[in-house]
């Protein structure tokens, strides 16, 4: 499946069908994360039930500490 992720078109494995699958695939489960799907922010409680489709636009924003 081809999607636009963080501004770049990428080909995803067919078995990735939900936001939760993407978060696990990219090893983002342990981060404070905001996910935007087609311009709409999705809450963590929606990750398991929100399906991704061909040509969706997905933005992952995670926070990095520093000092």
Share of the chain above pLDDT 90, in %: 85
Average pLDDT over residues 19-37: 94
Share of the chain above pLDDT 70, in %: 99
Has residue 66 got a pLDDT over 80? Answer: no
Cα–Cα distances (Å) from 41 to 14, 30, 34, 59, 66, in that order, read: 23, 19, 7, 9, 25
Average pLDDT over residues 18-32: 93
Q: What domains appear along the chain, each with residue ranges and CATH number?
A: 2-62 (3.10.20.30)
Please, which pLDDT band fits residue 65 given cuts at 50, 70 and 90?
confident
Q: Which of 20, 16, 31 is nearest to 63 (CA)?
A: 31
Has residue 67 got a pLDDT over 80? Answer: no
> Which pTM value belongs to this model?
0.86
């Amino acid at each position: 499946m081809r999607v636009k992720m963080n501004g770049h078109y990428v080909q995803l494995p067919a078995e990735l069908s939900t936001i939760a699958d993407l978060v696990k695939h990219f090893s983002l489960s342990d981060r404070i994360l905001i996910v935007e799907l087609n311009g709409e922010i999705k809450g963590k409680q929606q990750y398991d039930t929100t399906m991704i489709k061909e040509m969706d636009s997905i933005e992952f924003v995670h926070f990095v500490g520093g000092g």
